Structure 1
Amino acid sequence: MKLSIQEDPLAQWAFELPAGVVKAFNQAGYTELAPHLHEILIFLAVYSGIYTLSSVVTPAVYPAYRKLSKRNQVNFDMHVTSQVQAIVLCAFAWIIFFDPDLTSLTSHTPFSSMAISSAVGYFLWDLYVSIKYVNMFGMPFLAHAAAALFTFFEALRPFLHNYAAPFMLYEMSTPFVNNHWFASHVPGMISPELQKINGLCLLAMFFIFRIVLGSYFGIKLFTEAFTNPPVGVPSWSLYAVLTTYSLLSALNFFWFSKMIRLAAKAMRQSKRKSD
């Protein structure tokens, strides 16, 4: 299957950088940074705007928001922003997934660089919010944002575009994670019946895209990285990305095991009530 979208739809919005800045980016090894910097800034602005808009619009259309604690109001707005980002990134990922030109660790297209820049913009926002509210959400959220930002930023060498799609598709489970949070923290927002359906979809999406596909492409990535090391990519970058992937993968397995235990507990409690 071949998709025709390989050109950058946002290229027309690029701005000219000083020659010294472009040279510095290129000398540092990030040759895709200068032509896509505007997209990082665009998506950073978009997600920052969605986050801010949620705090203004939500109280007007959903009065229960006002009764939430400050922590949960911030969390609500973060989940709204995450919901939009997940849909956008997955749409990009499916296009990249079937791109026949992404065949090696250093292959890339203008579209794949744009998609990765959108992720960099999002995780810049995510990192900012995680730092700002580190006392609310703790270091794990901050570490996750930093790890994701580092991985996608390294892809602007360019690097790993042929594996970007399956890892972007981790976000297929994110809308259901967000729905679960809304159901758990905002009473009456989602009916019990829809909560059950959402829970099943969450388990299925998480297992398929993070556990199965994530593990499969992770093994392929390690195999390719050590049998055919990418030319022009520093060893420290390669090993750092592989280490980051391994840690995030381990975290996925931990989260999934926790989800299974919670689902089993809920089923036992439901069975006791029915008995």
Structure 2
Amino acid sequence: MLAPSKETSTKSYLPIAPSTPVKILANALQRMSTQLSDNGDEEHSVNSSSSTQEDLETIIKQLAETSLSKLVSSTPMNSQTDLRHATAHTISPIKKSRTSITNIHPTTTNEVLLLAALHEAEAANAALKKRVIALQASNILNEMYCAKIRSQLAHQESKKQAGNNGGKILGDGLPRLLSGDVFYERVVQFEEAQTRAAAEKRTRTEERKRHAEALADWKKLEDARKAENKARREHYHEALKIWESEKARAKEEKWKLTEKKPTLGKLIAAIPRPKVIVTEECESDGECFDLDDIGSCASDEY
């Protein structure tokens, strides 16, 4: 139910008793709103900004002592962080007054002022009630959203814990009937998984060893290829230099040079680098690549 109207009160009352974090934030917003209304002129703008900063620091300190302390800290949130949504509360329906204000005919100045104030109060109450209904509807949707997100987060946490149980059959610490069929099946599945994991690990080790040996042989062949290509280039540049000098001498002495211009010829092509096999272990944590001598397979570097 909505709280009773208190027109003469200087403090607002929420229709629903909020939790501690909500109460802290609501009181802070009300206090800041009052300060802004009191300091409406430009002379108090500096004081207002400094007081607002102090209010924000106070809010953070107070929230750090509640159940939502992870909201204002660098600690990652988990599925245990919960904001209690007070949604199971009834709001009274909007009813029309039996006596219409339009039927009242004021006769004095005071009655005119009082009737105008009554019009404003009723309009304000109606607007506030609609706003409360909208806020409660938003609160219900937020509760549904948070509940779904928490369940998904809890599922992710359980999967992570199940994947990092350190080789344990049951990592939840709960008692089990050791002679039961369910536990026996779990043991059999666990042993099969351990055997399969060990075999896959041996295969990966052998594959890495084979790849390392193939990579070493490939590096030797690549070094020999680069050295041969380098020697061919040096021989070509020397022959080209001699040919150009002979051509210049023939031009000066006015005789025809019959020797053809030397050509570099085709160099030895690059040898394909041994391929890296991406194993299941690498796929779980990201692809594994051998970054040794990246770019060494380019044929025109040396």
Question: Fold conserved (TM > 0.5)?
Answer: no
Q: TM-score, normalised by structure 1?
A: 0.26
Identify the structure with the greater helix proportion.
Answer: 1
Q: Which has the higher contact order (CA 8 A, sep 6+)?
A: 1
Larger Cα Rg: Structure 1 or Structure 2?
A: 2
